[in-house]
Structure formats: structure tokens, C-alpha cells
A and B are shown apart, each in its own frame.
Chain A
Amino acid sequence: MRSGITTAHSVIEPALVTKRIAGGLVILYAVLTMVPLVWIGLTAFKTPPDSISYPPKILFEPSLEGFCNLFTTRSRQTQEYLHSLPPPQGRCEALARDRSMVVVSESKFVPRFWNSIVIAFGSTALAVGLGTLAAYGFSRFKVPLKDDLLFFILSTRMMPPIAVAIPIFLMYREIGLSDTKLGMILLYTAVNVSLAVWLLKGFIDEIPREYEEAAMIDGYTRLQAFRKVVLPQAATGIAATAIFCLIFAWNEYAFAVLLTSGDAQTAPPFIPIIIGEGGQDWPAVAAGTTLFLIPIVVFTILLRRHLLRGITFGAVRK
């Protein structure tokens, strides 16, 4: 965050008491707003009985059962069968035995998480690549109907996702892209490219044209000037844009739940349907949620200087 330049004796500098009260209230809000997230993190390390105890437990003995349940599927067995088995191999098997179960196989969490990674990075690379080119085109050249084209690009992102999903569902069924990673990558690219163009146009607008013109007078072609002068100058903007695209694709749920069911399913539609015996296995859900959210929290901290710009399509820059 930018901090204003104020002198110690400025007439508008708030009094110390005012600052303390303001700070206290903001910190109170920040702490309250973190409670649900902290609770997710705590629940991930509870045993299933601890997670649903009344009153809710703040102090408990940490357990990895949630993570074990997230990564494995288990089945209930009779005591005679369990006694006939050799001693458990590994922590998850031991935890399962304590609940009269055996680990049957690995769960689908890892493949779903992997799908999320592939689709998010694939669509981000494409969107940022296409977006950088288009943004440069819109920033530097006279394009007929420029404002209309830019508005059109922006408006595609505002369409209700379910309305877009109906024809995409039919189209993908016709051309064999249903439930494929490629189909999801193309769809997310189309959604993200609008953000990428708008954000990157703002970043490229800020690079003085004189840099390229100087390079071209020195004998560079326009394309060389773009590659060797503009791209390095825009690197921070491109990185910030990429993280925004990554976060969108990572978080997306509506298209994922309607258009994927198996091979290409990402983590967001998968995590809510993790169930154990007799309903949702909350420690496992919390463990999956924690693993899913951590990268975003890290990215948010990295991005904080560019957040404002990203969420307003580059309209507000400071």
C-alpha cells in the first residue's frame, strides 16, 4: 500500500488517539474476518469426532486423519478380518485400522488437484500470451473501432457463467472437447483474455513510446523493439496479470461443475463432495480446502500492490 507523505506537524495528520481507535477497529475486523479461515486450518488437523464435538473444540490433539482421509479411500471391515491382517504399514493405514477400516486405494484428490494446476497454468500462459500481443496492438496502433472492440472484449467477461455454459456444453459435445483439459483451458483462456488485454493495455500505455522509437531509429524493426524493449519493461505488469489469471482459473467453479465430471474435473467441484461414512468428512474437506487455499493466500500477498488495478480492470491504478 502507498503511504502518504505527511509531515509531523501537518494540520490534517490525525491525532494519536484517533489513530489508535481506528487501528483497534480495523484490527478487530481483520481478526473476525480471519476466524473462518483459521477454523478451516484447525479443522484440517482434527479427528472426525473432534471436528463435530459440542461445544466446538479450540484445543485438541492434532491428528493427520483428515489428510489421510483426503488422500485415500477406505472400507469398513469385520474385526476377524482386521485381526487376520499383518500389522499396519504407514500412518494412514494405522489410523484407518483404529476406525476398523483398511485403506483401499488412493483417492481422486491428487488427480483433481493436478487438473487444477494444468488447467490454471495452461490457460494463464495462453491468455497472457494472446493478451500481451493484443494489448500492444491496442496501445500503440490506430485500430478502427478500438473502443468498441475493447468494450466487446470486456463485456464477454460479464456474461453469466451458466448462460455461457449452455452453448459451450453443446459445442464441446459436438467437437469432442467435453470433459477434457484442453476444452477447459480454451474456455478459461477466453474468459481471462479480456482481463489480460485490459490490464496489460494499462501497463503498456505507461511505457513511453519514445523507448521503442529510439530503438527503431537505432535499426530495430517494430517486432524487435517490441521483444527487446517493451516486453522487458512490461515484465512486472505481465507477471501481475498472470497471477490474476491464475487465481481466476484456480478458483473457477461454475464451468467446472457443469462441464466436467471425470477426467478434467478440477479441485473446486471435487472438494465439496468429499464424503466419509454418514455425511461429509469435515476434516478431510478442511484438509483439501487448506491445501487449495494456501497458494492463493501466498499470491495475494505477492500481488498486494497490484490488487486494486487487477480487480478494476486497470481503471484505478494507485
Chain B
Amino acid sequence: MPPALSVRVRGLSDRAIAWIFIAPTMVLLLAINIFPLIWTIRLSFTNYRANRPNAPVRDVGLQHYQDILTNPDVWAALQVTARFVIASIVLQTILGFLLAWLIDKKFRGHGFWTTVILIPMMLSPAVVGNFWTFLFQPQIGLFNYVVGFFTGIPPSSFQMLGDVQLSPWAIVLVDTWMWTPYVMLICLAGLRAIPENIYEAAEVDRASKWRQFWTITLPMAAPFIMLAVLFRGIENFRMFDMVNLLTGGGPGSTTEVASITLKREAFEKWRTGYSSAFAIILFVTVFGLANIYVKALNRVKNR
């Protein structure tokens, strides 16, 4: 028997194997993601409340969607989210790119220090976020003490987490501390992907270092920077854990990002129907962002 034929006869067909291999993953995702999603869509048209499972359920049509999109509190939460996303991304991108650029100078021991810098991003945002509330304590917290030490402001005179002005910045600060390494790592890959002979040619042409940075380094690293920005954008848009532990949305609702609003509606007020509609609106937004993200991923990949 020729070998090619024996393969076909003795084993399962490739087509069968492909489906047997892929099906379990699909079944799991259908059960844990898609089925609940359809359930959520169904609930979003009703006044169902999860804490009263036996109460009569009434169809309310598109009422919830209309309520959400005309509710000033929802728009306030989306604004808080947008401000948080933009501020943290701007900071992380500048800082991350700068760090990557410095690390790319390949000073002695850069490998070791890169690993040290990467540690915060792998840690649990909840557990570490919780510890930051200790660092931010007005009198005894290390953060307040250090700020006081260098600026002369008494450490008990300001509350990073209790102040309407400061608390959004406290969250941006912790987020930046945690996720700058992420941007740095992707930017570093971008910088290292630039072929050295381009710089050599620029040197021959006597282009200044400044000019080389703006005409070679930055444009060639740009797709990688975009990738980092998009990914951080999606992640911060759905951020819950760190904000929940640092401020819980407070003081008042100054740091109430969309995820916190959703949690309050769904698991504190138990307005399941209403919060389902809100969840769908957030899904659609993230899905749109994810779509852009995957297109960008493919563009980087195909370079």
C-alpha cells in the first residue's frame, strides 16, 4: 500500500479531526459566553429582578435602552470612563515609550532592569489596588508622607482617595504604575524591529539624532505604539477591579466608571433587566473597539 493511501485508511480523516479538535472549545464558549449573552439580550427587554425570581415579569420593550441613553448619570459615568481611559493612556504611552527608548540604548544590565520593571503588570490589580489604599492614607500612608517630604505639604492635609479633585488622579496614578511596563514592552519590540542599516544610512547622510528620532524611530515604531494604545484602551474601558477597591466609585460618583455603575445597578439595586440593557450597550461598544483592534493586530503581524 502506498504510504499516502495508508494514512487515509488507518486514521480519521483530516476533516473529522479538525472538527473533533475545535468543537469542544466552541461548545464551551457557546455555553459560557453565547448562551448567557442571548439570555442577557432577552432580559434587557423585561423588568426582571434577580432578587425576586418569582415576581411576575413584564415585557418593557426598548424602554431600558431609551432610559439608559437619556440618563444623565449614565453619560456622566461614560465621561468618567473616557477621562480615565484618555489620561491613563497618554501617561502610559509617553512614559512607556520613553522607557523603551532608554532601554534600547542597551546599557549594562538592561535585561535585568527590564524584568524588574515588568513585575507590576503581572500582579493582581485587585490585591495590589487594595494595598495602594494603605499607601494613600492621609496621615500614615507612605505616598502622602513622601509627597509631604518633597513638597512640604503636610501629609495629613490631602486625601488622594477621598478628595473629589484628587481621586480620579489616584486611579490614573495606580493604573500608570501598573501598566506602563505593558506599553514599554510592546514599544521595545517596535524599536528592536527597526533595521539597523536605516540608521547607518541616516548617519551617512549626516541626519542629526533629533531628525533620526522623528523621521525613523517614531514612525517605524508607530504601529506598535498603536497596538499598545488600543489594547490599553479596551482594558481600561472595562476596568473594574482596581477602581472598585481603590474608591468604589467615590467620593460621590467622581470615579464611577461604567463597570462600577453596572455593578451597582445589577448587584446592589438588582435591576437585572435594566442592567442587562446597559451590559448590551457596553458589549456593542467593546465589540466595535475589538474589531478595530484585531484589524490593527493583523496589520502589525503582516508587516
Q: Which residues of A contact B (CB under 8 A)?
A: 1-4, 6, 10-12, 14, 18-20, 22-23, 25-27, 29-30, 33-37, 39-40, 43, 51-56, 130-131, 133-134, 136-138, 140-143, 149, 151-156, 158-171, 173, 186-187, 189-190, 193-194, 197, 216-219, 221-224, 247, 250-254, 257-258, 267-269, 271-272, 280, 282, 285-286, 289, 292-293, 296-297, 299-301, 304, 307-308, 311-313, 315-316, 318
Contacts and interface: CB of A to CB of B under 8 A. Distances in A.
B253 to A, nearest CB: 16
Q: Interface SS of chain B: helix, strand, loop or mixed? A: helix
Given A36-B135, A163-B282, A171 B39 contact: yes
Interface residues on B, range: 35 or more
A268 B127 contact: yes
Contact of B240 (A161, A169, A293, A296): A161
B189 A308 contact: yes
Interface of B: 3-4, 6-7, 10-12, 14-15, 17-22, 24-26, 28-29, 31-33, 35-37, 39-40, 43, 50, 99, 102-103, 105-111, 113-128, 130-132, 134-135, 137, 139-142, 145, 155, 177, 180-182, 185-186, 188-189, 192-193, 196, 199-200, 203, 224, 227, 231, 234, 237-238, 240-241, 244-245, 258-259, 262-263, 266-267, 272, 275-276, 278-280, 282-283, 286-287, 289-291, 293-294, 297, 300-301
B269 to A, nearest CB: 12
Contacts of A254: 240-241, 244, 259
A26 B118 CA distance: 12
A26 B113 contact: yes
B39 A222 contact: no
29 contacts: A4-B192, A6-B196, A26-B113, A26-B117, A29-B99, A130-B24, A134-B24, A141-B17, A143-B22, A160-B237, A160-B258, A161-B238, A162-B262, A166-B40, A166-B276, A168-B32, A168-B36, A171-B35, A217-B7, A253-B127, A254-B259, A258-B267, A268-B124, A269-B126, A286-B134, A296-B123, A300-B115, A313-B297, A315-B301
A130 B185 contact: no
Contacts of A269: 126
A1, A35, A193, most chain B CB atoms within 10 A: A1
B127 A158 contact: no
A285 B263 contact: no
Contact of A33 (B19, B117, B127, B293): B117
Contact of B21 (A53, A136, A165): A136
A218 to B, nearest CB: 8
B96 to A, nearest CB: 11
Nearest to B42: A167
B110 to A, nearest CB: 7
A250 B29 contact: no
A23 B130 contact: no
B282 A160 contact: yes
Given A6-B196, A155-B287, A160-B283, A56 B140 contact: yes
A166 B40 CA distance: 8
Contacts of B177: 33, 36
B203 to A, nearest CB: 5
A22 B124 contact: no
B28 A163 contact: no
A272 B245 contact: yes
Given A170-B39, A269-B126, A312-B186, 16 more contacts: A12-B200, A26-B107, A36-B131, A54-B145, A137-B19, A141-B17, A159-B283, A166-B50, A190-B33, A286-B134, A289-B128, A289-B131, A296-B124, A311-B121, A312-B231, A316-B224
B10 A221 contact: yes
Contacts of A149: 22, 26
Contacts of A297: 119, 122-123
Contacts of A55: 145
A247 to B, nearest CB: 6
Contacts of A252: 124
Contact of A130 (B25, B127, B282, B290): B25
Contact of B185 (A3, A134, A308): A308
